[in-house]
Amino acid sequence: MAVPSTDARIDVRFPIDAFRLDNGLQVIVQTDPSAPLAAVYTSYQAGSARDPEARSGLAHLCEHLSFAGGDGDPTIEALSGHLSQIIEDAGGVTDARTSHDRTVFGCLVPSDRLDLALWTESRRMAAPACGLSREVLSREQLIIGQEQRQMLEDQPYGRALSQLHELLYPAGHPYRRLPIGTPEGIRDASLDDVARFFDCHYRPENAVLAVVGDVSAAATRELISRYFGRLGSLGHLGSPGRSAPPPVDGLDPQVLDATSPVVGQRRSRQRVPFARTYIAWRAPSYGSGQHLLPGLLAKCWAGRDCSLQRRLVADWKVAQSVEAVLVSMRHALTLVFFATAQRGVEAPRLQQALVEALEAEIAAGVEGQALRRAQKKALTDHYVNMRYLQKRADFLAQHLGYLGDVNALEGEEQQLLAPDVGALDDFVRRTCRADRRGLLTVIPQGETW
The pLDDT tens digits for 387-430 are: 999 999 999 999 999 988 787 777 788 889 999 999 999 999 99
Predicted confidence at residue 6, as pLDDT, reads 43
Q: How would CATH label the architecture of 16-238?
A: 2-Layer Sandwich (3.30)
* 388 Cβ neighbours under 8 A, 6+ residues apart: none
Residue ranges of the domains in the chain? 16-238, 263-444
Q: Does 263-444 match 16-238 at the fold level?
A: yes
Report the pLDDT value the prediction gives residue 358, as an integer from 0 to 100. Answer: 97
58-68 vs 134-148: helix crossing angle, rounded to 10: 130
**What does the pLDDT look like over 212-249, one tens digit per residue?**
999 999 999 999 999 999 997 544 444 434 444 444 45
Mean per-residue pLDDT pooled into runs of 10, the chain (449 residues): 44 82 96 97 96 95 77 42 82 95 97 96 88 90 95 93 94 92 96 94 96 98 96 53 47 66 82 97 83 95 90 96 95 96 97 97 96 95 94 95 81 89 96 94 93
- Torsions phi, psi of 424, nearest 5? -70, -40
Distance CA 228, CA 204 (A): 8
Cβ-proximal residues to 58 (8 Å cutoff; 6+ apart), any chain: 48, 51, 52, 181, 185, 186, 189, 193, 194, 197
The residue type of 428 is V
Polymer length in residues for the chain: 449
CA distance 260 to 435: 11
Contacts of 433 (CB under 8 A, 6+ apart): 281
Alpha-carbon span 441 to 354, nearest angstrom: 11
Contact 118, 40 (CB under 8 A): yes
How far apart, in whole angstroms, are the C-alpha atoms of residue 276 and residue 319?
Answer: 9
Alpha carbon distance 320, 341 (integer Å): 6
Bridge partners (DSSP) listed for residue 208? 26, 43
pLDDT at 107: 97
Contact 409, 12 (CB under 8 A): yes
pLDDT at 79: 44
Q: What is the pLDDT of residue 129?
A: 81
Map the chain to HEC letters: CCCCCCCCCCCCCCCEEEEECCCCCEEEEEECCCCCEEEEEEEECCCHHHCCCCCCCHHHHHHHHHHHCCCCCCCCCCCHHHHHHHHHHCCCEEEEEECCCCEEEEEEEEHHHHHHHHHHHHHHHHCCCCCCCHHHHHHHHHHHHHHHHHHHHHCCCCCHHHHHHHHHCCCCCCCCCCCCCCHHHHHCCCHHHHHHHHHHHCCHHHEEEEEEECCCHHHHHHHHHHHHCCCCCCCHHHCCCCCCCCCCCCCCHHHHHCCCCCCCEEEEEECCCCCEEEEEEEECCCCCCCCCHHHHHHHHHCCCCCHHHHHHHHHCCCEEEEEEEEEECCCCEEEEEEEEECCCCCHHHHHHHHHHHHHHHHHHCCCHHHHHHHHHHHHHHHHHHHHCHHHHHHHHHHHHHHHCCCCHHHHHHHHHHCCCHHHHHHHHHHHCCHHHCEEEEEEECCCCC
In this prediction, residue 259 carries a pLDDT of: 65
CA–centroid distance for 330 within its chain: 9
How many Å apart are CA 19 and CA 25, to the nearest integer? 9
**263-444 CATH choice from 3.30.830.10, 3.40.50.2000, 1.10.10.10, 2.30.30.140:** 3.30.830.10
pLDDT for 75-115, tens place per residue?
344 444 477 888 999 999 999 999 999 999 999 999 999 99
- CB-CB neighbours of 377 under 10 Å: 16
**β-strands 103-110, 207-213: how paired?**
unpaired
Q: Tell me what pLDDT residue 407 has.
A: 79
Could you give the angle at the alpha carbon of 396 between the alpha carbons of 220 and 398, nearest 5°? 120
